[in-house]
Amino acid sequence: MNGLRMQASRLLVIIPDRLSDLMCKGEIIDRYYNPGDLFREVHILMTNDDTPDPVALQRTVGSARLRLHNLPVDKRLFVQTLGWRPWLLKRWARSAVELARVVRPALVRCYGAFLNAFAASEIKAALGIPYLVSLHTNPDKDIRGMAKTRREWVFGQGLKAVEKVGLGNADLVLPVYRDIVPFLQRLGITNYKICYNLLDGKSLRKKTDYELHHPIRILSVGRQCVGKNPEMLVRAVAGIPDVVLTLIGDGNCHEYLVLIAKEAGVSDRVRFIRSLTNDRLCATLSDHDIFAVHNDYWGIPKAVMEPMLVGLPIVVNCRKPLPVSELTDDNCILVENTPEGYRTALQQLISDSVLRAKMGIRARAQAEGLWNPSMTEAIFSEIYRQYLVA
Please say whether the beta carbons of 43 and 102 come within 8 A. no
Please say whether the beta carbons of 208 and 189 come within 8 A. no
Alpha carbon 57 to its chain centroid, in Å, reads 18
- C-alpha to C-alpha distance for 306 and 371, rounded to whole angstroms: 9
- C-alpha to C-alpha distance for 29 and 36, rounded to whole angstroms: 13
Ranges of CATH 3.40.50.2000 domains, the chain:
3-195, 216-371
Per-residue pLDDT tens, the chain, 390 aa: give them.
444 344 448 999 999 999 998 888 778 899 999 999 999 999 999 999 999 999 999 999 999 999 999 999 988 999 999 989 999 999 999 999 999 999 999 999 999 999 999 999 999 999 999 999 999 999 999 899 888 899 899 999 999 999 999 999 999 999 999 999 999 999 999 999 999 999 988 899 999 999 999 999 999 999 999 999 999 999 999 999 999 999 999 999 999 999 999 999 999 999 999 989 888 999 999 999 999 999 999 889 899 999 999 999 999 999 888 889 999 999 999 999 999 999 999 999 999 999 999 999 999 999 999 999 999 999 999 999 999 865
The DSSP-derived string for 170-218 is -SEEEESSGGGHHHHHHTT---B---PPP--TTT-------PPPSSEEE
Contact residues for 239 (Cβ-Cβ < 8 A; gap 6+): 339, 343
The model's pTM is 0.91
Cα dihedral 184, 185, 190, 192, rounded to 10, equals 40
- C-alpha to C-alpha distance for 207 and 162, rounded to whole angstroms: 43
Domain 3-195 of CATH type 3.40.50.450: no
The domain at 216-371 falls in which architecture?
Answer: 3-Layer(aba) Sandwich (3.40)
Contact residues for 320 (Cβ-Cβ < 8 A; gap 6+): none
